[in-house]
Amino acid sequence: MRMYDIIQKKRDGGVLSEAEIQWVIDGYVRGEIPDYQMAALNMAIYFRGMNLEETTALTFAVRDSGECLDFSDINGLRVDKHSTGGVGDKTSLVVTPIVASLGVKVAKMSGRGLGHTGGTIDKLEAIPGFRTDLPIDEFKKIVNKIGIAIVGQSAELAPADKLLYALRDVTATVDSLPLIVSSIMGKKLAADDDCIVLDVKTGSGSFMKTPEKSRELASWMVEIGKRAGKRMRALITDMGRPLGFAIGNTVEVVEAIETLQGKGPKDLTELCIALSAHILNLAEKGEYAECERMAKEAIENGSALQKFAEMVSAQGGDGEWILHPEKFPKATYSYTVCAKESGYIVGVDTESYGVASLILGAGRNTKEDVIDPTAGIYLKAKTGDYVNAGDPIAELYSEKQTGFAQAEERLLAATRISATAPKAEPLILDIVE
Ligand code: URA
């Protein structure tokens, strides 16, 4: 086979065979196919797309590009939850202890922030001492003992995705349906979980900007997961506004703790309860309504918060910080962004909110950047709220003062204010089985 012929075939709208796809991924991981040819193929896929069969073959090739984990020595059903990436999305920190406190096993591999979106591993690393790089045996031991552990993706798991993602990130090929499906599901299928619930984001803060595209993404991921023998479900949820009020790392951990204490923002709490209930239902813990009741109770009786503290202690952090979040350090500097005019906030460009938090130091502009855990944004007003000119709409936090002006400019430009109140939009748009 020749890479040239495969690029040409896809460029001209052809359908690649399973053997061709496998050959490309093997060659790329071995370093035999150079980045420029892989980038050209990604761009051809971006414009020409792939059918479900090609996308399945690509996903399985990504999965098989490295080690596939064996969790059979973890007793009981293992569940996973994965978001396609959002702004202020700290649901994993809330949902995983809820379901673990109710008896399902959470053996979770999470990612770091990508582009304007945050990542669970960066958030957990805002807890001093928390180790996200546990050896696999220690990881499994903790899951067996306390029912939950969350670690970063090991170097051996789906290495094709690491290479492909870094290349897509710099060649404007991230938001391609078959490339997102194979990236997410390639990694998920390499870990040995039984049930996977996907939170597929839609709207201005997500990679798929329309509900139609997000639905298609969800149904392909669900279908491919089922083909690999997993129990699958996906929720399509709105990312046309940040989730909760906190965007950043420490601020999001604190907001997740508040949610586990039963005093979290309404939207975040609603989504966390729904995701937990779907996971429990998929794991056969009961009918959906019963699972929803159990998830709410795990918050009310404190068992989910306790489980989060247990996980933090088991992974090297201090569980007392979870029970007393006032211990978390605050950023040295803060700055208040105020509305320039009066009216209702009728909509925001969520991606720009994510970029503003990167500017403050909460994310990376290059792979080498070191995150400032205390950097971020706390929103004082969200879509639907009425503000008067001069009212605070956001509090910015950072260890440096240099980003405030640029972040403020981004936030103000991204916030649309009008005299008429907007129509309330649902947070959960659809469920794909
Ligand atoms: N998250 C991933 O892991 N991969 C993508 O392509 C998009 C979101």
Q: What is the pLDDT of residues 36-67, one digit of tens each?
A: 999 999 999 999 999 999 999 999 999 999 99
Give me the pLDDT at residue 153, please: 83
| pLDDT surpassing 80 at residue 365 | no
Q: Long-range contacts of range 2-9, CB-CB < 8 Å, 24 or more positions apart?
A: 3/27, 3/33, 3/37, 3/41, 4/37, 6/41, 7/37, 7/40, 7/41, 7/44
pLDDT (mean) for 407-413 = 98
Query: Which pLDDT band, with edges at 50, 70 and 90, does 195 fall under?
Result: very high
Contact between 287 and 281 under an 8 Å Cβ cutoff? The reply is: yes
Atom of ligand 1 nearest to the CA of 111: 3
- d(CA 247, ligand 1 centre) in Å: 19
List, for residues 72-125, the tens digit of each pLDDT value. Answer: 999 889 999 999 989 999 999 999 999 999 999 999 999 888 778 889 999 999
d(CA 120, CA 89): 9
Query: Which pLDDT band, with edges at 50, 70 and 90, does 367 fall under?
Result: low
Atom of ligand 1 nearest to the CA of 187: 3
DSSP state of 424: P
- The structure tokens listed for 276 are 């937990």
According to DSSP, the residues that pair with 21 across neighbouring strands are none
Cα angle at 94 between 113 and 69, to 5 degrees? Answer: 65
Give me the pLDDT at residue 156, please: 85
List, for residues 216-257, the tens digit of each pLDDT value. Answer: 999 999 999 999 999 999 999 999 999 999 999 999 999 999
Q: Is 186 in the pocket of ligand 1 (CB under 6 A)?
A: no
CB within 8 A of 7, min separation 6: which ones?
37, 40, 41, 44
Q: For residues 363 and 306, which has the higher predicted lDDT (pLDDT)?
A: 306
| pLDDT surpassing 80 at residue 388 | yes
d(CA 5, CA 20): 10
Residue reference for tokens 């918060």: 305
pTM of the model: 0.94
Nearest CA residue ID for atom 5, ligand 1: 180
Mean pLDDT score across all residues of the chain: 96
3-state secondary structure 279-335: HHHHCCCCCHHHHHHHHHHHHHCCHHHHHHHHHHHHCCCCHHHHHCHHHCCCCCEEE
Q: Is 157 in the pocket of ligand 1 (CB under 6 A)?
A: no
Q: Is 110 in the pocket of ligand 1 (CB under 6 A)?
A: no
Nearest CA residue ID for atom 8, ligand 1: 84
Q: Is 86 in the pocket of ligand 1 (CB under 6 A)?
A: no
| pLDDT surpassing 70 at residue 417 | yes
Nearest CA residue ID for atom 6, ligand 1: 180
pLDDT (mean) for 307-317 = 98
- Active site residues per annotation: 82, 161, 168, 183, 187
Q: Is 185 in the pocket of ligand 1 (CB under 6 A)?
A: no
Q: Is 184 in the pocket of ligand 1 (CB under 6 A)?
A: yes
pLDDT (mean) for 159-175 = 90
Give me the pLDDT at residue 170, please: 85
d(CA 433, CA 335): 44
